[in-house]
Structure 1
Amino acid sequence: MTDRKSAGGRGVPAIGAPGRAAGELPAGHPPATPTVADHELSEFSGPGLEIRGASIRGLMHRYRGGPRQDAFSVVYDEASDTTLVIVCDGVGSLPRSHEAAAFVTDRLPAHFWAARNWAAAVKSVNAELHELVARRRAELGPAEWDANAMATTVVAVAISPGHQGRRVEIVRSDDSTVWALSREGGWTDVSATTDGDATVHTGSVRALPTDSPRLHHAETTLTDGALFVMTDGVDVPLRGAAEVRETLATWWTSPPAIFDFGAQVGFARKTHLDDRTVVGVWATGEDHA
């Protein structure tokens, strides 16, 4: 269970100094129109895998009265014993980026099943998002569009049977990352750095929709331990502080209860105020289906 004695004012555990915002910032008024929930939790289990997912509204969006702009989805194809994890981080400077993030997490799996290739799947969902944005822009006009613009980055993982353990295929546009955690508590960034397709270029951040998606590709193997697909709300403090790496390793060497996992993803730490999304995938040691 999460150690509530170390919790910040929002009932989440603190790692280091939680900062004043975690203890003093109120939830705020309900929005004027329906929007995404502040927090989202999911858990799954199957042959060889345990999965926990949590997306938590960050303190900056709480302060500004804006919605959570992260989103995630987890889907499974029984015929190929393949699990997809998609995590999106809406571009915070654009007001309706939560819609772009939700659109990509909803549509990208179908494109992957059709192509069985991440580069082709992202190209297709990028084209669909382009069409959606073009329709919205035409309906609203230039003045209203500024208050309704949207874009998102994406990281996606396909986990399928391999010769030794599970094969993991990764693609990301940037910002969001994938980390491996060994059973001994060691963290390794397994995010992609190689150019995986001649029509897709490795480079700086290119949020979707864009005329030329820039994607990073990588492959790894999940034999034991766990993988964590995350937005930079967790990646940045994980990468930057040994204290965060040690604490999260202690919490996540085995799958937590889902409500504990949600609180842990939302941990309080001074100056880290962004939305937080993590999908954890644990190898259970069972035979693959």
Structure 2
Amino acid sequence: MATTVVPIFIAFDLACAIGTTAADRAAEQAWPVVDTLRHDPELAGQVRIGVFGLAGPGSYQEPPWASPDIDVSLDDVPPAGRTGRPYAAALDGLRALAALDAAAGPAGPPLMLLITDRQPADDWRTALDDLTRDRPDARLVPIWYAPASRTPPPLPAYPGDVSPRHLYGPEQLQPAAIALAMEHLDAVRDGGHRATGSRAPARRQLPSAQWSGASIPYSVGDPGNAASRVRPLPDPTDWDRPDTVLDGVCLVDDAGVPTLELRAASVRGLSHRYYGTVRQDDYAFRCTTDNRYLVAVVSDGVSNSRLSHRAATLIARDGAATVAAILDRGAEPATLDWAGIARELTDRVIRLGEQVIHRTPDAGPLGCREAAAHLAATALFAVVGTQARGDDVEAHVFSIGDSTAWVLRDGGRWQAQQRLTKVGEAVASASVAAIPLQRPDVEPPVQIRLSAADVLVLMTDGVGDPLGDGTGAVGRFLAETWRRPPVALAFAAQVDFARKSHDDDRTVLAVWRAERHVD
């Protein structure tokens, strides 16, 4: 019985031509697709592959890595008639690939993946009509690659048999393209398509998958060179300090009913990875013994304090334990003495300093200012009720320093819970302070009501600075990925997104109402 060969064509219609950094990053994601389709023994002799990009509006270009593994090439073939309309020219290129491929012998219906990041040209429908007239059996899937640096283009109104996909960044291309290719091959094998010029093959099942899943780095806009070039070095002064820590838990009440979903991650920044210095951020959380309240703390070690990571860990862990113990004794969140809690943590940091700071025997008592030169960190507390009052739960937030609390409201709107400065610039930050406190005044706590659709997000400035006021590219990215609680590993990867000029440690702790988590 004849084996049906299935053509798979991949076209890159990017606003930046193949050969520039952004397009190369997208094209590099297609290489594993081509490699898998070409070398998988189950697919041997069953696919014919064509790949091209638009090198400006006037010519097609084969990506340099594709030459050994593609069967159909458009090199030196000019776009026919629509050189000023790149999107239409890409459709023309797919039609030209199909025509060239037809000369190679009988084949099944082609799969055409059109990866684009631009608005369609005015005459794209004419080009689509030409394509579907010549190859009515083709399956066209436009993949809208939407870099996070720009607002994603709206999906145009395609005919009913064309189902576009929307991706958020080039790293999502590989798993999407592989899934589409395998789905198309399955359909051909199952008789969902009829081959042109040959008999349809008997049904043949792919072997059962032995594994599934993916792990991909995230980037928002221009990731900068460091994202791909930095080789993380350990800190030989503290081998036991992890590069990354993360948590993903569901909190329950005394009856075992889920109340809150929590995700947290603390990730060493590119700068500390490059120089081989420790992660200075930390976080901690715990529930009161009656499970009525979640206490969460995020802390950011002050960069110029050599042992600030020790302060951050103490503030996060002791701070969470201290607040939970006070609540267990019957206090209400609204009556907590936050100034007293800050003074207690200041005393504990100074006591830690007496143990770890090298001083002369006659130095005298360790003062707040000297301790802060070695051990200083911000403190951001949240006390979240687990029992709804009406439709909402209450949260109380207290902050010392530039770590900030946000509420991601339903619909993707970020609402800051502290006053931000530099709003409208690339970086926004709150007023700077740290523990140990060198002045007694602290900002009053903030009371928040969270609906079932809201997300409370605590973050250090490693994420807060690129987030800005929440309306830019980073805000759109995080709002989209955190609409629902992701798995913990994915959450950590999202916290670790690459963005040029932002290389600080990243720590985020986010809380969802459990009712939002639908599997």
Tell me the equivalent position of 2:246: 41
How many pairs does the alignment contain? 272
Q: Cα 1:20–1:213, aligned 2, differ >3 Å: closer, same or farther?
A: farther
Q: Does 1:282 align with 2:505?
A: no
Deviation readout 1:29-80 (Å, 9 max, x if unpaired): 5625424100001111123210000000001111221100000001011415
CA contact (8 A) 1:52 1:255 kept: yes
Tell me the equivalent position of 2:314: 103
Determine the C-alpha separation between the residues in 2 that align with 1:169 and 1:256.
Answer: 24
Tell me the equivalent position of 2:154: none
Q: Cα 1:121–1:96, aligned 2, differ >3 Å: closer, same or farther?
A: same
Deviation readout 1:165-214 (Å, 9 max, x if unpaired): 21111111121001111221111112379xxxxxxxxx952211123344
Tell me the equivalent position of 2:342: 122
Determine the C-alpha separation between the residues in 2 that align with 1:263 and 1:74.
Answer: 20
Partner of 1:268: helix, strand, or coil?
coil
CA contact (8 A) 2:407 2:415 kept: yes
CA contact (8 A) 1:90 1:153 kept: yes
Paired letter, 1:256: P
Determine the C-alpha separation between the residues in 2 that align with 1:246 and 1:206.
Answer: 29
CA contact (8 A) 1:84 1:158 kept: yes
Partner of 1:285: helix, strand, or coil?
helix
Determine the C-alpha separation between the residues in 1 that align with 2:233 and 2:351.
Answer: 34
Determine the C-alpha separation between the residues in 2 that align with 1:51 and 1:170.
Answer: 16
Q: Does 1:93 align with 2:304?
A: yes
Tell me the equivalent position of 1:232: 461
Tell me the equivalent position of 1:196: none
Q: Cα 1:176–1:76, aligned 2, differ >3 Å: closer, same or farther?
A: same
Q: Cα 1:97–1:6, aligned 2, differ >3 Å: closer, same or farther?
A: farther
Determine the C-alpha separation between the residues in 1 that align with 2:168 and 2:442.
Answer: 36
TM-score, normalisation: structure 2: 0.49
Determine the C-alpha separation between the residues in 1 that align with 2:436 and 2:168.
Answer: 39
TM-score, normalisation: structure 1: 0.85
Tell me the equivalent position of 1:173: 400
User: Which one of the candidate residues 260, 275, 279 is aligned to 1:64?
Assistant: 275
Deviation readout 1:127-172 (Å, 9 max, x if unpaired): 1112222343465678xx99x9221011010011453421111111
Q: Does 1:184 align with 2:414?
A: no
Structure 2's unaligned 5+ residue stretches are 1-166, 174-214, 252-257, 328-335, 364-369, 421-429
Q: Does 1:28 align with 2:239?
A: no
Determine the C-alpha separation between the residues in 2 that align with 1:140 and 1:274.
Answer: 33
Identical columns (%):
30
TM-fit CA distance, 1:126: 1.4
Tell me the equivalent position of 2:146: none
Q: Does 1:158 align with 2:391?
A: no
Largest Rg, 1 or 2: 2
Structure 1 runs of 4+ with >6 Å offset: 1-4
Partner of 1:66: helix, strand, or coil?
coil
TM-fit CA distance, 1:2: 9.1
Q: What does 1:199-278 correspond to in 2, within 5 Å?
A: 204-216=431-443, 217-224=445-452, 225-239=454-468, 242-278=472-508
Paired letter, 1:238: L
CA contact (8 A) 1:153 1:175 kept: yes
Tell me the equivalent position of 2:98: none
Q: Does 1:113 align with 2:324?
A: yes
CA contact (8 A) 2:462 2:506 kept: yes
Cα RMSD of the aligned pairs, angstroms, is 2.8
Name the structure, 1 or 2, with higher relative contact order (CA <8 Å, separation 6+). 1
Deviation readout 1:59-106 (Å, 9 max, x if unpaired): 111122110000000101141510011000000111111000001111
Tell me the equivalent position of 1:200: none
Determine the C-alpha separation between the residues in 2 that align with 1:155 and 1:268.
Answer: 24
CA contact (8 A) 1:88 1:152 kept: yes
Determine the C-alpha separation between the residues in 2 that align with 1:214 and 1:162.
Answer: 33
Partner of 1:48: helix, strand, or coil?
strand
Structure 1's unaligned 5+ residue stretches are 194-202
